[in-house]
Structures are given as structure tokens and as C-alpha cells.
Structure 1
Amino acid sequence: MADKMTELGAQVTQALKDSEQYHALATAFNEMKADADTYKLFKDFQNIQLDLQQKQMAGQELTDAEMKHAREVADQVGKIDAIKNLMEAERGVNSMLNQLNKTITQPIQDIYEG
């Protein structure tokens, strides 16, 4: 059974890589990354988000200064078309993955509803 699941996983991986959404994401990422300043801002934004999430998960209070800095960077990110395009492409991939998850877990849901 494990071999069958591994094979199925490989098929799903290939289907993802072949999808329009995946190609749109890869293109948007490469276009964003081509501008060094935009890429640096994007990485800074990711690091800020990760840091804030880790603090929240650890039960630490976020300071006003941290929140203000996060909002400022988010505002900068929101003004850059390349990053906006990347985020739109991410939404497309997430939508596809959510649909896949729903399809895969439907039999389990049917058990609990039946």
C-alpha cells in the first residue's frame, strides 16, 4: 500500500508541476526575483511575518513597534506590481490545493456524515 501511495504522490506532484497555476507561480516568482531590491523587500517581509508568527505561537506579546514596522513593510510590498502578481499566483495555487484536499478527504467526510 505504501508503494501505491508513493506512486500516487509522485503523480500528483507531476500534475502540480504541469498545471497552469504552478507555471504562473514560477513565472511570477522569477519576475519578482529579477529585481534585487524587490526580492530583498519580499524576503524581509517573509522574515517579519515568520518572526511575528513565532512570537505569537510562543505566547509573546507583539510590541507596537513590531506591529508598526510590519504594517510599513506590508504597505511597501502592496505597492509593488511584481509582488502583487506573485501573491495573485499564490492564491491560484492555494485554490487548486484546497480543491485537491477537498477531493482527497471527501471519502473521510462521507464516513462521518453517513
Structure 2
Amino acid sequence: MSNMYDNARELSQALRNSDEFQNLKSLHEQVENDEVAKRMLDNFRNIQLDLQQKQMQGQQPTEEEITQAQKQFEMVQQHEVISKLMEEEQRMSTIISDLNKIITEPLEDLYGVPEEGQGQ
């Protein structure tokens, strides 16, 4: 059993050493060290979080909230470093998703792939 954990630690280290992670880390540090960029990104993420929480509670966001979120998104997309950071975050998310699929293949082989729309 410990061999699996060792392999997981190796995978974690490989991810940490990957170009994708290093790029993400560098962009994150650039945003953190730029007061304006950090504030812009924090505001955008807070708006996103508020909308997600409302949706999880079954509430529909107002037109004003949707418009505000869209405006904030357009602002952060225009900031070069934030835009690159968001692209790299998406790339890293795809890698993590791909790794998760590979890791869970034995369970899928055993139980089959859950059908779309069914909860897990």
C-alpha cells in the first residue's frame, strides 16, 4: 500500500517540477506582487464565488449581478498577466483532470463508467 503513496508523492513532485506548474507559479507571483492586478483578480473571484453560492442555494443571479460579473471578467481579460494566469490555471486544471481519469481507470474497469447526469 505504501508504494501507491510513494508513487503519488512522485507524481506530486513531477507536477511541481513541470513547466506548466512553474509558469503558473511565476504568473501567480507576478499578480500577487502587483497591487492593482491582485485587487482586480480578487474582486473578480469574489463576484464569481458569490454567483456560485447563489446558484448552489437555488437563487438566480440578477441581471445587474450578471452584468457586473461580465464587466469584471472583461477587465481581468484585458490585463495581460491576469489573462495569462487564467489560461495557465485552465491548462493546469485540464492536466489534473486527465491525471484523475488515469488514476481512476481501475475503478472504471471494475464498476464501469457512470452515465452522464447521474450523481457520484
- With CA pairs under 8 Å and 6+ residues apart, which has the higher RCO, 1 or 2? 1
1:53 counterpart residue number:
52
Shift of 1:5: 4.2
Confirm or deny that 1:71 pairs with 2:55.
no
Give 1 or 2: higher helix fraction.
Answer: 1
The amino acid that maps onto 1:93 is: M
Shift of 1:4: 4.1
Structure 2 matches for 1:17-28, cutoff 5 A? 17-28=16-27
Structure 2 unaligned runs (5+)?
113-120
C-alpha distance in 2 between matches for 1:61 and 1:89: 30
Equivalent pairs counted in the alignment come to: 112
Confirm or deny that 1:88 pairs with 2:84.
no
Runs of 4+ in 1 over 4 A off after TM superposition: none
TM-score (norm 2): 0.83
Structure 1 unaligned runs (5+)?
none
Shift of 1:28: 1.1
Confirm or deny that 1:104 pairs with 2:103.
yes
Confirm or deny that 1:31 pairs with 2:61.
no
RMSD: 1.6
C-alpha distance in 2 between matches for 1:92 and 1:64: 30
